[in-house]
Amino acid sequence: MKSSSLLLLSFLLGVCGVQGASSFRICAFNLHHFGESKVKKSNVVHTLARIITRCDVCLLQEVRDMKGKAVPQLLDHLNRYDPDHEYTSVASERLGRSSAYQEQYVFVYRTDTVSVTGQYQYPDDREGDVDAFSREPFIVRFKAPKTDIKEFVLIPQHTTPINTTKELDALYDVLQHVRKMWKTENVMLLGDFNADCGYLAKKNRKHVRLLTARNLYWLIPEKTDTTVRSSTSCTYDRIVVHGERFARSVVPTSAAPFNFQQAYRLSEDQALEVSDHYPVEVLLKGAADRVSLSVGTFLSLFVLKMLT
């Protein structure tokens, strides 16, 4: 009897473990001057497809698609590379103080796991933070029924290196505005913050509310290298979660850069053709995780009672 009960316990816990194994991946990737010339390189686009299709939602930065052709071509490649999912995108306007250099924020996402329920281009003329950003955040609200959190807001930012401290501090104002506007606490800030090395001096950190305020969780550990070049080691790219509820919905220790150079056995030069940054990513718990945990606990207690 005890032997069969132990087998039953192992089986049931295994089933619960499988149910709870599903997770949802959010990524942020600085593509380093992504445009028509880069999308024409088949080896580069293939590597990008391998990277981006790992993610349910992927924020792309440094998109310089002046004619609006590069992103559609990338999406076409993603959908051919991964026919099990359908990928689409939502993008900001072209942003930047100089017409000679402008970028877009582009969110690529799987339509079968997530949908867009709102979008908002943060203006550059709000009282108190006039022209705070070189590239104002393009804020998107997502619905993800299969996640534990169900719905969340993503605030992207690619800071200007010479203005990193000011822009990171101003992101705190953006966060408060979004919380009030959409009446939500489930907010994630992510992107190439340039939040390390010479761009964010230690003496300036006390002036950045995004760093000093409570209820904000910086998920990428300090001293984590998010750069491709072997000559640099900086934690530029970051993921920050607001609120305990959202933080609890993150798979513990899952936030990290994805070293595609190592994963795909590329030389440094080959990797740099793709980007000089690694993407950063984090996993959200699936909706089944909480259910499977409670069911597993109940079944464990039930079978253990049978054994005693």
Q: Is 281 designated active site? A: no
Angle, in degrees to the nearest 10, between helices 42-52 and 70-81: 60
CA distance 234 to 232: 6
Inter-residue long-range contacts of 72-78, CB under 8 Å, 24+ positions, other chains counted: 73/39, 73/45, 74/34, 74/39, 74/45, 74/48, 74/49, 74/108, 75/108, 77/45, 77/46, 77/48, 77/49, 78/49, 78/52, 78/53, 78/108
- What's the pLDDT at 94? 92
Q: Domain boundaries in the chain?
A: 23-302
- What's the pLDDT at 124? 76
88: left (phi over 0), alpha (psi -120 to 50) or beta: beta
- What's the pLDDT at 35? 93
CA distance 294 to 289: 9
- What's the pLDDT at 296? 44
- What's the pLDDT at 125? 66
Pick out the chain residues at pLDDT < 50.
1-21, 292-308
Superfamily grouping for domain 23-302? Endonuclease/exonuclease/phosphatase (3.60.10.10)
The strand pairing partners of 37, in sequence order, are: none
Q: Alpha carbon 116 to chain centroid distance?
A: 15
CA distance 111 to 67: 25
DSSP helix/strand/coil, 121: strand
CA distance 225 to 287: 31
Element (H, E) at 109: strand 101-110
- What's the pLDDT at 62? 96
- What's the pLDDT at 297? 39
Catalytic residue among 62, 136, 158, 277: 158
Catalytic residue among 62, 77, 103, 281: 103
CB half-sphere exposure, 121, CA atoms < 13 A:
13
Q: Which residues contact 210 (CB under 8 A, 6 or more apart)?
A: 168, 169, 171, 172, 175, 189, 216, 240
Q: Is 207 designated active site? A: no
* CA dihedral over 191, 196, 201, 205, signed as positive or negative: positive
- What's the pLDDT at 201? 80
